[in-house]
Amino acid sequence: MRALVSLAGLGAIATSVVAQRVVPLSFSRAGPEHQRLRKRTGTFSQELNNNLTGGGYYAEVALGTPPQPVTLIIDTGSSDVWVLDANADLCQSRKLQYLYGTCLATYEPADSSTYKLVDADAFTIQYLDTSGAEGDYIKDTFHIAGTSIEALQVGLAENSSINSGLLGIGFNTNVAAARPYPNIIDLLVSQDLIATKAYSLYLDDLYAETGTVLFGGIDTRKFIGRLKEVDILRDARSNDYTSFTVALESLKVNSSSSSNGSELLDEQIPVILDSGTTLTYLPPRVARRIYSAFNAVDDTTGTGLVYVSCDLLSSEKDTTIEFQFGGSSGPLIRVPIDEIVLDNVKAYISIGLLDIPTLPFDDVCSFGIQPLSNIYLLGDTFLRSAYVVYDLSNNKIALAQANLNGTETNVVEIPASGIPLVSGVAAQQTPSASSHSDSDTTGDSGAESSPDSAAPRGTLALNWEATSVTFVAIIFSLVGAGLFTF
């Protein structure tokens, strides 16, 4: 018999969501105790990236009656919720666990009184890194942030090369089933838990341990300036809305010596905003131009990494990479150098797990942008600098510069009419022991500021358990795995 958990144990926040239809979900990054690295053919590079970058973002939710706790990767790039069966091949095989890691948390259908089989052997999903899972489609009660969703269709993986399930929160047109079905976003609306199919995502910076998804809401204290909208692009083959693809109009490197960098794009390119991807992937020709600006060495065909000198963290500490979307008046996000230059490879080099090539510098860091053909992904190395609102009902995305390490909260509901283009804080706020406030939930839209405010760095991550805000409950212990999905 598996351990069960009560709804109270999941950190219910019912008193905070009575006034507004907002479902707040906190998530955390992988802890080092869960990060394992084994050098295996064909998968080493991706596993290395996952370990080096903290391995994605995970939430503790629960499935069944009574609730069984499961740990799921937050993924805007896919659309199914799926969990590991207690008897999945990975969970029963030491050999598979050696390759893919120990199962984090599993679900036993026999222990749930609300379990229902929907379609046997119909769940099959594969991600761009070739990992995947297969099994049945089932329905059961899904518990998230103190809220219960009845009869959610879920994939139950009996075979898996991933040691954790996923919480896919994309369009239902992108589910793995032969025909679309109402997924978690649809049921949140149909069961009157949120007003519209929309949510906001706040990862916080590289050093932060936690972030939040607000289903049906926006936190105006977590971004700088005014939210700006762009259209989500239709899939070129199906003409449906299947992924969070937007038009990247401009890309520049701005350093302290040049406040107006050269344009790196020849033309507008479609990019997918994907929280399940740890790095950022751009067309090879564009990536090479960025590498030239930082004297980076591309070894993606060897070790799977791009290398730069760690000296950039001090010599170019004011440098940003600017991403602008949807035209010259569209949202502009500045990604600081310390979100792209990652001081994370030395330990792997020292123990012999990373055989780096000859490099023109001694102090070695990895780089958070890699080349990829045909599909371009803005993953966590971009998303940590942005506050992103996904509106699946109106096919819009709104972005603003993230207010990193913000300790205050002011949540407003997203109405059915669309994203309220409200303003956030006036400038990056540096937290202090006296800056935290639990009472700042009055519903105002925040201070006006220039939409192109830069992103000066805040302090390192606060301990959110010590400084929790009204809408956030820290309930997660996590592991590392990031996926390429779309």
Catalytically annotated residues: 75, 274
**Would you call 142 helix, strand, or coil by DSSP?**
strand
Rounded CA-CA distance 24/37 in Å is 33
Q: 210-215 and 411-413 as β-strands: parallel, antiparallel, unpaired?
A: unpaired
13-32: burial string, b at 16+ Cβ within 10 Å, e else = beebbeebbbbbbbbbbbbe
| CB of 208 closer than 8 Å to CB of 201 | no
**Bridge-partner residues for 29, per DSSP?**
57
Rounded CA-CA distance 364/343 in Å is 7
For residue 132, give the DSSP letter.
Answer: E
Residue 383's closest CA among 233, 188, 246? 246
Residue 63's closest CA among 173, 157, 161? 157
Q: What share of the chain is helix, strand, coil (3-state, %, to 5)?
A: 15, 35, 50
DSSP letters spanning 217-252: EEETTSEEEEEEEEEPPPPTTT-S--S-EEEEEEEE
Rounded CA-CA distance 409/471 in Å is 8
Rounded CA-CA distance 213/96 in Å is 32
Rounded CA-CA distance 318/328 in Å is 23
- Residues in the chain, total: 486
Which two tokens mark 3? Answer: 């351990």
Which two tokens mark 397? Answer: 């995305």
Based on the number of CB atoms within 10 Å of its own CB, is 192 exposed (0-12), middle (13-18) or buried (19 or more)? exposed
Residue 142's closest CA among 175, 107, 118? 107
